[in-house]
Amino acid sequence: MAETLFDMSAMGRPRILILGGTTEARQLAERLAGYRRYDAAISLAGRTADPRPQPLPTRIGGFGGAEGLAVFLELEKVSLLVDATHPFAARMSHNAATAAAATGVPLLGLRRPAWEAQPGDRWTRVASVAEAVSALGAAPRRVFLAIGRQEVFHFEKAPQHSYVVRSVDPVTPPLNLPETTAILAHGPFAEADELELLGKHAIDVIVAKNSGGTATYGKVAAARKLGLEVVMVERHKPAEVPTVCTCDEALERIHQRLSPVKDRGV
């Protein structure tokens, strides 16, 4: 291979590839950047127009399915693959499991736990964004779509509602809906700010993905305070791979797997 993502001067050190796109992936990248005994890099899908710089060598764009990823893992001699993609990035996670099984490269999932409904929450649980559209019902409502931009097109099937759509980058192509307000913003989103947003736009229902974590929980807590319904899109069942919930746990597993010595230096 003419060019490698990894550090050529670090030959012999175990290579770790993080599949990223989440806060947890960035946190793990920051931690791994401090270890000279590993040669780590991160891969992003390239969905965000202006991604924040990463603390590790970074590649951007798809691999070409599970087969492409398998080829990449072999050519780059990756020792360990960490799937730290978003809980709703189901295809990438499936590809990671398939490629890891095909190549024998160990795979570790890093996935924050889903949110659990608390007393006072009014959740309508659905299995997909398409199902969320039906769950809004026939009568016009004021809907806050907090599901990112990739799947909001489904709501074109329900033009009777008015929508506030929040995303990091603009929705493309623009939504074919009569009443839409676009908000471009990057989390984390505090509960107080979410309360203000919900009030300002007189929202009566929120559509959210059960992403877990704290960065986007503010809207769920705010909905509880206001007694608003949340149409909650639940996660697909993930592939059965060893999975941890936190960056600390991931690091511990990486040490166990790649340098099972008592020394915990860098």
Q: Which residues of this protein are in contact with ligand NAP, per CB under 6 A?
A: 19-22, 43-45, 47, 62-65, 68-69, 85-86, 88-92, 95, 148, 150, 209
| Euclidean distance between CA atoms 44 and 137, whole angstroms | 36
Give the nearer residue to ligand NAP in terms of CB position, either 14 or 21: 21
Give the nearer residue to ligand NAP in terms of CB position, either 67 or 179: 67
| Euclidean distance between CA atoms 230 and 47, whole angstroms | 26
State the burial class of residue 16 (Cβ atoms within 10 Å of its Cβ: 0-12, 13-18, 19+): buried
Give the nearer residue to ligand NAP in terms of CB position, either 31 or 255: 31
Q: In Å, how far are 135, 144, 210, 218 from 223, measured between CA atoms?
A: 17, 11, 14, 9
Least distance from ligand NAP to the Cβ atom of residue 47, Å: 5
Residue of closest CB approach to ligand NAP: 62
Least distance from ligand NAP to the Cβ atom of residue 52, Å: 13
Least distance from ligand NAP to the Cβ atom of residue 67, Å: 9
Counted residue by residue, the chain has a size of: 266
Asked if residues 35 and 255 have their Cβ atoms less than 8 Å apart, the reply is no
Least distance from ligand NAP to the Cβ atom of residue 89, Å: 3
Give the nearer residue to ligand NAP in terms of CB position, either 152 or 203: 152
Least distance from ligand NAP to the Cβ atom of residue 110, Å: 11
Q: Is the peptide bond before 53 cis (omega within 30 degrees of 0)?
A: no
Give the nearer residue to ligand NAP in terms of CB position, either 4 or 259: 4
Asked if residues 78 and 106 have their Cβ atoms less than 8 Å apart, the reply is no
Give the nearer residue to ligand NAP in terms of CB position, either 57 or 159: 57
- What is the DSSP code string of 187-229? S---HHHHHHHHHHTT--EEEEE---SSTTTHHHHHHHHHT-E
Least distance from ligand NAP to the Cβ atom of residue 116, Å: 19
